[in-house]
Amino acid sequence: MKQIELVRGMRDLLPTATPLWRRVEDIARDCFAAYGYDEIRLPVVEKKVLFERQLGEHTDLVEKEMYSFAAGDNELVLRPEATVSTMRAVLSGGLHRKGLLRLWYGGPMFRRERPQKGRYRQFYQLGAEAVGSDSWAIDAEQIIMSARLWRNLGVGKRLCLHINNLGNTDERRGYRERLREHFRRFDSVLDETTRRRIDTNPLRILDSKDESARAAIAKAPRLSAALGDDSRRHGERVKNAVAAAGVDFEENETLVRGLDYYNLTVFEWVLSDDERRQNAVCGGGRYDGLAEQIGGPSLPGCGFALGLDRLVDLAAQCGLNADGRLQCYMAVMGDDNAAFADTVAEDLRNAGLSVWRHVGGGNLARQLKKANAGAATLALLIGDEERTNQEVTIKRLSDGCEQRAPLKLAALQIKEMMNNG
Ligand code: HAM
C-alpha cells in the first residue's frame, strides 16, 4: 500500500526538535509571569463569523486562507489567530468585570498560505493580551516585555523593532480616502492585487512588497499627518517609555499589519539582517474596537503574538542550548574563593543566566572536562586573581576564546559571547 504522506504546509516536530521548543516556551512563560500574565487556553475550533469582520473582509486571511467547514448549521474554522478568541472568551466568561486582565496563550494556528521556509499552514504562536485599559503604558509594557524575552532567549541582537501609530477610526477613514485618490493616479503601473486594494483596503498597499507599487508608496500621503492630538500624544508616550527602557526602535509609517482590528499603536519585531518576506517574528498592537465588534461592551485591548516556528529557528542560530538549561559551568579554584563564586553565580542567575557551579574541587583541567561533558556553552573561571580584581574569566568552550569581565558587566559579556560563538 502506498505510504500516506504529510499534508502540505504541515510538519512534524520531531524529538530532536522538541527540547529546544520546550526551552523557548519555558523562557517565554517565565517572562510573561514576570509581568503578571495568566494563562488562558482556548479552543482550536471557532465560529467563522467570529473572525470574518474582525480580521477584515478584504484581508488575504479572510478572503482565502481560513480552513473552514460546515458542522450542522454552523460554519466553523480552525482558528487563524487567537486575539479574537481571547476577546470572545473574556466576554463570554465575564472576566472583564473584574478589571484589567493580562492573559497569555499558546498553541497552533491555521492559515492556508503558500508554504515556504518559515511559513506553514499549521504554525505555533505564543501571545499576550491585556484587556481593559486604554493606557499607553500597556502598549509600552508589552513592547518592553517582548524585548526582555528576546534578551532572555539571546536573540535580541538579531531583531529590530518597528513601531507605527494607526490613529483612530475617524482619522483612518479620512486618510483612506486620501490614499485612494493618491493611488488612483498610479493606476496604470500598479499590479492587479494592488489596484484591487485601492477600493477594498488601501492601507494594505503601504506595506506591499510589490515592485510596481514602490514609487507610488514613496510618494503617498503620510499617515502621521492625519492624526489628531490625542492619537499623537498616545504614540509619543509609548515611544518615550520604550526609549526610556533602553529599547531601540524604528518608526515605520508603512507598517499597517495584515489584520483590520488595530488602532493607535502597532508594532513588529523583524529579523534585522533579512529582507525576505517571512522576517516578522512577532507582531501586535492595540485593538480598542474589537470587543464591540463581536457584540461586547467598549473594552480596550492591546497585545502581540510571536511565531514560535520562526523564533525557535532564530534561537537555535543564536546558540540557545536545547539540552537542559546549562549555559555556564563555573569552575572554582581554591576553597577561599568559594563564597565569592557563589555570589557571582547568584548575580548571574538574577540576570537570567543558568549557571552550574562546580562542586568537589579538582584542578582546572578536571573542572573544564566536566563543563564539556555537561554540554555547557561557556566556562566561568573563578580563582584568586578574579576575586582580588572582582572579575570573572569567561571561556567559550567551542573555540577556547577567553575574556575577563568586571562583575558589573559579566552578564552582558557572557550573553554576547554566547551569541557570537
Ligand atoms: P500576525 O502578525 O498575523 O498577528 O502573527 C504573529 C506572528 O505569527 C508573525 O509575526 C509570525 O511570526 C507568525 N506567523 C504568522 N503566520 C505564520 C505562518 N503561516 N507560518 C509561521 N509563522 C507565522 C496575529 O496573529 C495577531 N493575533 C497578533 C496580536 C495579538 N495582535 C494583538 N494581539
The better pLDDT of the pair 291, 258 is held by: 291
Q: Is the pLDDT of residue 77 over 80?
A: yes
Distance (Å, rounded) from C-alpha 47 to C-alpha 70?
10
Report pLDDT digits (tens) over 275-320: 665 689 999 999 999 999 999 999 999 999 999 999 999 999 888 8
Separation of CA 250 and ligand 1 centre (Å): 20
Separation of CA 128 and ligand 1 centre (Å): 12
pTM: 0.80
For 31-45, 49-63, 143-157, which range has the lowest pLDDT when averaged over its residues? Answer: 49-63
Mean pLDDT of 193-218: 88
- In terms of Cα–Cα distance, which of 40, 51, 101, 10 is closest to 258? 51
* H/E stretch holding 242: helix 229-244
Which of the four pLDDT bands, split at 50, 70 and 90, describes residue 325? very low
Separation of CA 178 and ligand 1 centre (Å): 29
Q: Are 177 and 48 in contact (CB under 8 A)?
A: no
Separation of CA 195 and ligand 1 centre (Å): 25
Atom of ligand 1 nearest to the CA of 120: 20
Please give the pLDDT value at position 353.
85
| Protein residues whose CB sits closer than 6 Å to any atom of ligand 1 | 81, 83, 111, 113, 119-120, 123, 125, 127, 129, 258, 280-285, 287, 303-307, 309-310
Q: What is the mean pLDDT of the chain?
A: 92
Separation of CA 282 and ligand 1 centre (Å): 6
For 3-7, 65-69, 161-165, 414-418, which range has the lowest pLDDT when averaged over its residues? Answer: 414-418
Distance (Å, rounded) from C-alpha 16 to C-alpha 13?
8
| Range among 186-190, 302-306, 409-413 rated most confident | 302-306
Question: Which of 125, 166, 311 has most ligand 1 atoms within 8 Å of its beta carbon, as the pocket-test mutant?
Answer: 125
Q: Which three cell numbers stand for residue 115?
A: 508554504
Q: Are 265 and 137 in contact (CB under 8 A)?
A: no
Please give the pLDDT value at position 277.
59
Distance (Å, rounded) from C-alpha 161 to C-alpha 143?
9
